[in-house]
Amino acid sequence: MSEVPISHILFVSTALFFIGMYGLFTRRNMITMLMSIELMLNSVNINFVTFNKYLYPEKLDGIFFTIFIITIAAAEAAVAIAIIINLYRSHKSIDVEDATEMKY
Amino acid sequence: MTASQIIFYILSAFILGMGILSVTSRKIFRSAIWLLFSLIGIAGLYFWMEVEFIAAVQIVVYVGGIVVLIIFSIFLTQQSGKEMQKAPLMRKIAGALAVVFGFAFTYMLIDRYGFKPKSVVFDNSVARIGNAMLNTEQGGFSLPFEVVSILLLAAMIGCIVIALKIKPTEQ
């Protein structure tokens, strides 16, 4: 297992985080922005598991952080989609540029 | 190169490629499917790291739950065959620059740090995870467990209240 250096695994998670960030910068559709956020949360999970496995193998904290992050991501996705569907009912669009009622 | 290394690099390329397709595809339904493949690749990475429980949770919650939820909401709110409008070129360039420089700086820090892995075997059997999750003593996680269950209840009630259709009152 130690044939692959830790920094290569962290390379994957960092790259995935910045891919998600690129999606968040360029997209203006709420569902696709939510998908970018899911990618970023996943990259954080990879980080936690890697650190737990290779640097602190006698503890379980990283595993638990990952489990709780996955749980909270599920709750967050459900609430966000409820908000998106409600917004679609009132505006007929889920573009963030169109939702300007609370802007000023 | 051993088999384990080859599997790791193939999995990484798969995850990153699918992630890039997911944030650049202009058809929203395809974007969701690329996200699905990326999440499956991450579950494969967890299997490669021998954390089977997290891999199973990843498949059950992300692949089976969140992506299905996203696909349903696409069906409810979009014409999924239509292409989304292009982002302005300026925004794309600015985003790409910010991302590339952010990635370069972060990876430089990571590469210079010099992590020293321990050679202890990582015991993450489900029995150990379960014991720690419901343990109230030092090193137990029963308080965050309860907090998360309250959060899930609150999220469920919140979703129902937000997405509820208010009927027009009849006189």
**Measured CA distances, B82 to A48, A90, B70, B141, B153 (Å):** 38, 21, 17, 47, 36
**Nearest CA-CA distance, residue B25 and chain A, Å:** 10
Architecture, CATH, for domain A6-99: Orthogonal Bundle (1.10)
* Mutant choice from A13, A31, A56 vs B, greatest count of B C-beta within 10 A: A31
Name which of A22, A60, A63 is nearest B23 (Cβ-Cβ): A22
Q: How many angstroms separate the CA atoms of A24 and B161, rounded? A: 28
Residue scoring higher pLDDT (B86 or B126): B126
**Sign of the C-alpha dihedral, residues B82, A32, B65, B40?**
positive
Work out the burial of residue A61: count CB atoms within 10 Å of its CB; fewer than 13 is exposed, 13-18 middle, 19 or more buried: middle
Residue A62 tokens read as 């990283």
CA-based nearest residue in chain A for residue B5? A4
Name which of A22, A34, A63 is nearest B95 (Cβ-Cβ): A22
Range of the domain at B48: 3-122
Beta bridge partners of B20: none
In a domain, B75, yes or no: yes
**Can you give the CATH number for the domain in which B87 is found?**
1.20.120.1200
CA-based nearest residue in chain B for residue A25? B95
In a domain, B131, yes or no: no
CA-based nearest residue in chain A for residue B129? A60
Residue scoring higher pLDDT (A104 or B28): B28
In a domain, B48, yes or no: yes
Q: Do A53 and B57 touch (CB under 8 A)?
A: no
Work out the burial of residue B27: count CB atoms within 10 Å of its CB; fewer than 13 is exposed, 13-18 middle, 19 or more buried: middle
Name which of A9, A53, A89 is nearest B51 (Cβ-Cβ): A53
In a domain, B11, yes or no: yes
- The pLDDT tens digits for A43-83 are 999 999 999 999 998 888 999 999 999 999 999 999 999 98
In a domain, B160, yes or no: no
CA B48 vs. chain centroid, Å, equals: 17
Contact (CB, 8 A) for B45 and B15: yes
Q: Do B2 and A3 touch (CB under 8 A)?
A: yes
**Nearest CA-CA distance, residue A104 and chain B, Å:** 23
In a domain, B19, yes or no: yes
Q: How many angstroms separate the CA atoms of B53 and B133, rounded? A: 13
ipTM: 0.91
Q: Which of A43-52, A53-62, B46-55, B162-171 has the lowest mean pLDDT?
A: B162-171
Residue scoring higher pLDDT (B158 or B80): B158
In a domain, B62, yes or no: yes
Q: How many domains does chain B have?
A: 1
Q: Which of B81-85, B123-127, B134-138, B166-170 has the lowest mean pLDDT?
A: B166-170
| Contact partners, residue A77, CB within 8 Å, separation at least 6 | A34, A38, B66, B69, B70
Which of B5, B12, B46, B98 has its CA nearest to residue A11? B12
In a domain, B127, yes or no: no
Q: How many angstroms separate the CA atoms of B67 and B22, rounded? A: 12
